[in-house]
């Protein structure tokens, strides 16, 4: 099971009318891998992620996520993945505890499991004192960390993180990446998009989309070597321009 593919995509394509948003992309992501999914605005990243999360039916091609088919088994996919984005995460008008209970509930955890998870998260995130506070009253950095913890509350095989660190201060951004590493070391696969190119370097492998295709895919060090660049920022500029 070490080399189990958590994502497998072959010639995956999505068209909107005559516009090809995702043009026959093929790639796979292994268990426990941190996979960076980069690309310019409008390159097709969001469309690709929507297909992989079972929210949008592909026009053609094949893909499985956590072993489930993106055409026929979208409900199974939704139960076996976690998702977090900068825009959509926690309910602002619910308290910390209520959010944990709510997400635990919709992911099918038992009352006992929810109780244990709540205690565990309040302790590890050091937010026990804030457990009855509304999410909207918390600092952004706390919210991001809690949102991530809640996205993996059901021990999904894979978690999709869509620009999780946008607008966060540099210290919190780094603490957040430590959490990502910890989850990955527990075997959860991490699929992450970011506009911070230093964060691309923290990924095991990175793909860069441009005009609907995957223009490059490799480890950060091999990409830098191939494109004769010192940083992932330089690699990105060379490919996306």
Partner 1 sequence: MKIVEVKNIVKTFDKTTAVDDVSFEVEQGEIFGLIGPDGAGKTTLFRMLTTLLKPVKGNAKVLGLDVVKNYKQIRKKVGYMPGRFSLYQDLSVEENLKFFATIFGTTVEENYNLIKDIYILLEPFKKRKAGKLSGGMKQKLALCCALIHKPDVLFLDEPTTGVDPVSRNEFWDMLRKLKEQGITILVSTPYMDEASLCDRVALMQKGKTLSIDTPDNIIRQFKKSLFAIHSENQYELFQTLMKYEHRNTVFPFGEFLHYTDKRENISEDEIKNYLETLNLKGLKIKSVKPNIEDCFMALMEEK
Residues of the shown chain interacting with partner 1 in the complex, contacts defined by CB under 8 A: 39-43, 139-140, 163, 166-172, 174, 177-178, 181, 185, 195-198, 201-202, 220-221, 231-233, 236-237, 240-241
Question: Least separation, in Å, of the C-beta of 240 and partner 1?
Answer: 5
List strands edge to edge, sheet with 213-218: 81-85, 158-162, 189-193, 34-39, 205-210, 213-218
Task: State in angstroms the smallest separation of the CB of 184 from partner 1.
Answer: 9
4 vs 198 by CB, closer to partner 1: 198
End-to-end Cα separation, the chain, in angstroms: 39
- Please state the length of the chain: 241
- For partner 1, give the closer residue by CB, 17 or 167: 167
With respect to partner 1, which residue has the nearer C-beta, 81 or 223?
A: 223
Full 3-state SS string of 171-211: HHHHHHHHHHHHHHHCCCEEEEECCCHHHHCCCCEEEEEEC
> Smallest gap, in angstroms, from Cβ of residue 65 to partner 1?
25
Q: Is 111 or 182 the residue whose CB approaches partner 1 more closely? A: 182
- Say how far apart CA 92 and CA 81 lie, in whole Å: 22
Least separation, in Å, of the C-beta of 78 and partner 1? 26
């Amino acid at each position: 099971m070490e080399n189990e593919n958590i994502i497998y995509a072959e010639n995956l394509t999505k068209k909107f009318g005559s516009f090809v948003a995702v043009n026959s992309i093929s790639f796979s992501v292994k268990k426990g891998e941190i996979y960076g999914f980069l690309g310019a605005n409008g390159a097709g990243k969001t469309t690709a992620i929507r297909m992989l999360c079972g929210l949008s039916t592909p026009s053609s091609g094949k893909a499985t996520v956590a072993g489930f088919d993106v055409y026929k088994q979208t409900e199974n996919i939704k139960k076996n993945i976690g998702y977090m984005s900068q825009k959509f995460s926690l309910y602002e008008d619910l308290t910390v505890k209520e959010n944990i209970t709510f997400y635990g509930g919709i992911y099918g955890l038992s009352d006992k499991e929810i109780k244990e998870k709540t205690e565990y998260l309040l302790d590890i995130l050091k937010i026990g004192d804030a457990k009855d506070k509304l999410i909207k009253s918390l600092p952004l950095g706390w919210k991001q960390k809690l949102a991530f913890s809640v996205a993996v509350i059901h021990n999904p095989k894979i978690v999709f993180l869509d620009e999780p660190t946008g607008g966060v201060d540099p210290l919190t951004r780094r603490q957040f990446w430590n959490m990502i590493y910890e989850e990955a070391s527990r075997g959860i696969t991490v699929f992450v998009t970011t506009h911070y190119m230093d964060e691309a370097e923290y990924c095991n492998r990175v793909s860069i989309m441009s005009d609907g295709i995957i223009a490059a895919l490799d480890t950060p060090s091999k990409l830098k070597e191939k494109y004769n660049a010192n940083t992932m920022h330089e690699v990105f500029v060379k490919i996306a321009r």
